[in-house]
Homo-oligomer: A and B are copies of this chain.
Amino acid sequence: MTNKLNLNNLTKSEEDYLKAIFQLLIEDASVKVGNNQLADYLKVSPASTNNMIKKLKAKGYVVSEKYGKLELTEEGKSVAVRLIRKHRLWETFLCNYLNFTWDEVHDVAEQLEHIKSRKLIDELDRFMDFPKKDPHGEVIPNANGEYSIIPKITLSSLSEGDVCQLIAVNDGSVHFLKYVSEIGLALSSEIKILEVREFDKSIRIKFDNTIETVTRKFADNVFVNKVV
């Protein structure tokens, strides 16, 4: 097995880059991820990402050809999944034990995910009795990095008459998450698409006897499971 045991000697920055590449790759499994796209996502300059990519390639976490698109090695994916596990476990802890609301947890979890201690995160997992999902509905990978990929589509991809169930939301924006709660939507809400307006792609939806119009941008951040 010659386990490389690569003792987690990665900087916070290196970890953040690997996580970002991983997330861009699953969000759009078909489309390739390039240097500038990564720069956009991380809100740094293309020169910065170019530089970091070189380092991550040298360390064996990333594969790419010059002027080509980015791929992660198994080692690279493993680092990313462990970060996501930590991020989601901490978010769950903050929500379920420390009175944080779902819009408050992300920024603190961004810090906590970089704490280096295998025992800490596995014990936190045990303490919470191995939760399966984080406060935003995302699946939490287990201690071996395994996790089920639940088929989910965005609310914006549905058509008039479709009925779906809200199973997850994008956790990156405080404003978005507050907005979701304010209009009364929550995980498991059943949503019916009343109308998709061609003009601006805004969508008229019904849930729990509430009727609301949401923008395309809003619907892009809501993940659902189609029911009808």
Question: Does A42 make an interface contact (CB < 8 A)?
Answer: no
Residue A179 is within 8 A (CB to CB) of chain B in the complex: no
Residue in chain B with minimal CB distance to A124: B98
Which one of A108-116, A137-145, A157-165 contacts B? A108-116
A111: chain B residues at CB < 8 Å are 115-117
Q: Are A108 and B115 in contact (CB under 8 A)?
A: yes
Residues from chain B with Cβ under 8 Å of A108 in the complex = 115, 117, 119-120
Q: Which residues of B contact A117 (CB under 8 A)?
A: 107-108, 111
Interface residues of A in 81-124 (CB under 8 A from B): 94, 97-100, 104, 107-108, 111-112, 115-117, 119-120, 123-124
CA distance A91 to B62 in the complex (A): 36
Interface centre among A94, A98, A104, A115 (most CB of B within 10 A): A98
Q: In the complex, A49→B97 CA distance in Å?
A: 40
- A127 sits at the interface (CB 8 A): yes
Q: Which residues of B contact A123 (CB under 8 A)?
A: 98-100
CA of A120 to CA of B107 in the docked complex: distance in angstroms?
11
User: Which B residues lie within 8 Å of A119 (CB)?
Assistant: 98, 100, 104, 108
Chain B neighbourhood of A104, CB < 8 A: 119
For the complex, give the distance between the alpha carbons of A119 and B89 in Å. Answer: 18
Starting from the known contacts A98-B127, A100-B123, A108-B119, 16 additional A-B residue pairs (CB-CB under 8 Å) come to A94-B120, A98-B119, A98-B120, A98-B123, A98-B124, A99-B123, A100-B119, A104-B119, A107-B117, A108-B115, A108-B117, A108-B120, A111-B115, A111-B117, A112-B115, A115-B115
